[in-house]
């Protein structure tokens, strides 16, 4: 390609307009390319818009997870706690999905910005050059290289041609490319074929005139080949003989397969198009951009239920008997106050109605979750409630262990050695007096039955009733842990 040298060479052409014998470029074609330049230059803005959506989604999911986590600890009913914890974990997964999407977006947006910027710059630079050597405050008709068949371009600035300004660095607010310009099929509005004027302005410009190897000629040979300008969109065919020259727009308005061009090696335009398409098609689907939306989403999309069900399936009685799917439905319905509709709204209301011990600054207060708190205070509140729950769990485990030990304890049945030294009224509780007179002695009573230890008459099984889904603590340590965390 000789495009890198073209600008310097063309400067010499300005003084040769009087001898211009070849065709000028159609301004309509350059305007089409400027539209493409403007679209490709939007890549940073489109990438940023998608980035903002995903960061908002990640933040919302994190806040939803913390909110539901706090509620799961604060609520007293096991069903509610199980549902709230499922919501928290499902929301945490939503956050991870948003973060993963952000990581995937980075290289895609960078590629679109890099390739799009190069092509947009190449188009704009050449378009501005053609405009500057053609536009005059007094309309030029004798010689020009860009315009209509009868007059030079009237574009006073590059933006008048539709190209983006070099000095304007404002990011476009659009979150996508214009489908009328960058479509599934290619650069849709591009008109392939010759972009030189065949009549009227066919002898206005020296740019397409071939020459000889002298310092007075623009092109150093009669018919130079392999000349591309405007970022590769246009192939030049200079020729020393008038009417034999040409400037041809590439056929890039169609030819894609599944929205992408093949054979992109060495073709900047195709490469930029494919990168733009990949960015344009990148999905920012998420669970919501507010914490309320995320909580409702994980419930309506059954993400919280799926998590709860998958865990229930690993525990008895759902492991071998009862339906974990049905149990999950019943637990969620109970948490929603047995509502048949809008269960997500009911559960959201219940989550936000919970009162927690909250740390604010250096103070500890009790407040409902409806009151907003900083992320730092939310994290410290979660840790505080976790520590308190651990204390509750440790105390309960200790009480259960004590009760179990008491239930298993039995009165000691004495032996003859235990009884032989007992005298008079002390010969009891498994001992008895045998013989008469001087032959009386305290011996073991073989018929003695020790009394049942205190506490053994009652079952130590502690039952936590939670509506239709009550569970037995000492038979379900999993649910005990779920309740307390």
Query: Using one digit for the tens of pLDDT, what is the confidence trace for 54-79?
Result: 999 999 999 999 999 999 989 989 99
Domains annotated for the chain, with CATH where assigned, are 3-281 (3.90.150.10)
pTM of the model: 0.77
3-state SS assignment for residue 386 = helix
3-state SS assignment for residue 307 = helix
- Asked if 119 contacts 37 with a C-beta cutoff of 8 angstroms, the reply is yes
Is residue 245 over pLDDT 90? Answer: yes
Is residue 182 over pLDDT 60? Answer: yes
Of residues 219 and 19, more confidence is placed in: 219
The total of other beta-carbon atoms located within 10 Å of residue 478's CB is: 13
Least confident piece of the model among 158-172, 271-285, 459-473: 459-473
- Asked if 86 contacts 308 with a C-beta cutoff of 8 angstroms, the reply is yes
Is residue 129 over pLDDT 70? Answer: yes
Q: State the distance between the two ends of the chain, measured CA to CA, in whole angstroms.
A: 68
How many angstroms separate the CA atoms of 109 and 276, rounded?
A: 8
Please list, in sequence order, all residues whose beta carbon lies within 8 angstroms of the beta carbon of residue 248, skipping any fewer than 6 positions away. Answer: 192, 193, 194, 195, 234, 235, 237
Q: Could you please report the per-residue DSSP string of 29-75?
A: HHHHHHHHHHHHTTHHHHHHHHHHHHHHHHHHHHHHHHHHHHHHHH-
Q: What is the mean pLDDT of the chain?
A: 86
In the prediction, which pLDDT does 21 show? 80
Is residue 457 over pLDDT 70? Answer: no
Q: DSSP character for 15?
A: G
Is residue 1 over pLDDT 50? Answer: no
Q: DSSP character for 363?
A: E
In the prediction, which pLDDT does 296 show? 98
Q: DSSP character for 165?
A: P
Q: Minimal CA–CA distance to 338: which of 82, 80, 91?
A: 80
Query: Using one digit for the tens of pLDDT, what is the confidence trace for 374-391?
Result: 778 778 888 887 888 788
In the prediction, which pLDDT does 406 show? 75
Query: Using one digit for the tens of pLDDT, what is the confidence trace for 429-445?
Result: 889 998 888 888 999 99
In the prediction, which pLDDT does 360 show? 76
Of residues 480 and 147, more confidence is placed in: 147
What is the average pLDDT across 138-143?
73
In the prediction, which pLDDT does 411 show? 60
- Asked if 338 contacts 56 with a C-beta cutoff of 8 angstroms, the reply is no
**Percent of the chain at pLDDT exceeding 70:** 87
What is the average pLDDT across 177-197?
97
Q: What is the CA radius of gyration of the chain?
A: 42
In the prediction, which pLDDT does 470 show? 43
Q: Is 356 exposed, middle or buried (0-12, 13-18, 19+ CB in 10 A)?
A: buried
3-state SS assignment for residue 159 = helix
In the prediction, which pLDDT does 409 show? 63
What is the average pLDDT across 309-338?
90
In the prediction, which pLDDT does 348 show? 97
What is the average pLDDT across 220-237?
94
Query: Using one digit for the tens of pLDDT, what is the confidence trace for 260-308?
Result: 999 999 999 999 999 999 999 999 999 999 999 999 999 999 999 999 9
Helix (H) or strand (E) holding 357: strand 355-360
Please list, in sequence order, all residues whose beta carbon lies within 8 angstroms of the beta carbon of residue 356, skipping any fewer than 6 positions away. Answer: 70, 71, 73, 74, 366, 367, 368, 369, 381, 385
In the prediction, which pLDDT does 68 show? 95
| β-sheet bridge partners, residue 248 | 194, 235
In the prediction, which pLDDT does 389 show? 79
The total of other beta-carbon atoms located within 10 Å of residue 151's CB is: 16
Is residue 138 over pLDDT 80? Answer: no
Of residues 217 and 475, more confidence is placed in: 217
Is residue 321 over pLDDT 70? Answer: no
Where does the pLDDT of residue 31 fall: very low under 50, low under 70, confident under 90, or very high at 90 and above?
A: very high
Of residues 54 and 222, more confidence is placed in: 54
In the prediction, which pLDDT does 485 show? 44
């Amino acid at each position: 390609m000789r495009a890198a040298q073209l600008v310097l060479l063309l400067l010499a052409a300005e003084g040769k307009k009087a001898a211009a014998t070849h065709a000028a470029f159609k301004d309509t074609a350059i305007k089409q390319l400027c539209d493409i330049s403007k679209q490709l230059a939007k890549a940073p803005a489109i990438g940023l818009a998608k980035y903002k959506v995903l960061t908002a989604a990640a933040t919302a999911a994190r806040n939803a997870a913390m909110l539901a986590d706090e509620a799961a600890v604060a609520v007293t009913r096991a069903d509610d706690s199980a549902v709230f914890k499922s919501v928290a974990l499902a929301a945490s997964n939503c956050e991870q999905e948003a973060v993963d999407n952000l990581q995937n977006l980075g290289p895609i947006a960078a590629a679109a910005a890099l390739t799009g910027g190069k092509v947009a710059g190449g188009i704009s630079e050449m378009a501005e050059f053609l405009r500057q050597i053609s536009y005059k405050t007094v309309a030029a008709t004798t010689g020009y290289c860009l315009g209509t068949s009868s007059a030079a371009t009237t574009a006073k600035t590059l933006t008048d041609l539709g190209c983006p300004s070099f000095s304007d660095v404002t990011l476009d607010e659009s979150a996508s490319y214009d489908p009328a310009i960058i479509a599934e099929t290619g650069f849709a509005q591009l008109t392939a074929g010759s972009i030189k004027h065949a009549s009227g302005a066919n002898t206005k410009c020296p740019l397409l005139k071939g020459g000889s190897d002298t310092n007075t000629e623009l092109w150093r040979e009669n018919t130079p080949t392999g000349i591309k300008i405007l970022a590769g969109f246009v192939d030049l065919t200079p020729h020393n003989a008038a009417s034999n020259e040409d400037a041809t727009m590439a056929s890039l308005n169609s030819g894609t397969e599944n929205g992408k061009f093949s054979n992109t090696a060495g073709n900047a335009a195709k490469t930029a198009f494919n990168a733009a398409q990949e960015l344009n098609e990148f999905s920012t689907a998420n669970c919501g951009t507010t914490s309320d939306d995320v909580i409702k989403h994980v419930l309506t999309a059954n993400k919280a239920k799926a998590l709860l069900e998958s865990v229930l399936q690993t525990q008895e009685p759902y492991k071998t008997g009862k339906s974990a799917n049905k149990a999950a439905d019943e637990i969620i319905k109970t948490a929603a106050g047995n509502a048949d509709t809008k269960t997500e709204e009911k559960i959201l209301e219940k989550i936000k109605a919970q009162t927690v011990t909250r740390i604010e600054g250096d103070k500890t207060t009790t407040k409902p979750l409806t009151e907003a708190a900083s992320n730092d205070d939310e994290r410290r509140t979660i840790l505080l409630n976790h520590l308190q729950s651990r204390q509750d769990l440790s105390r309960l485990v200790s009480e259960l262990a004590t009760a179990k030990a008491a239930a298993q304890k039995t009165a000691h049945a004495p032996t003859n050695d235990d009884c032989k030294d007992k005298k008079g009224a002390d010969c009891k509780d498994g001992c008895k007096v045998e013989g008469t007179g001087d032959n009386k002695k305290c011996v073991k009573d073989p018929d003695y039955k020790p009394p049942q230890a205190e506490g053994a008459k009652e079952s130590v099984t502690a039952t936590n009733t939670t509506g239709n889904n009550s569970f037995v603590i000492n038979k379900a340590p999993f649910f005990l842990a779920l309740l307390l965390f």
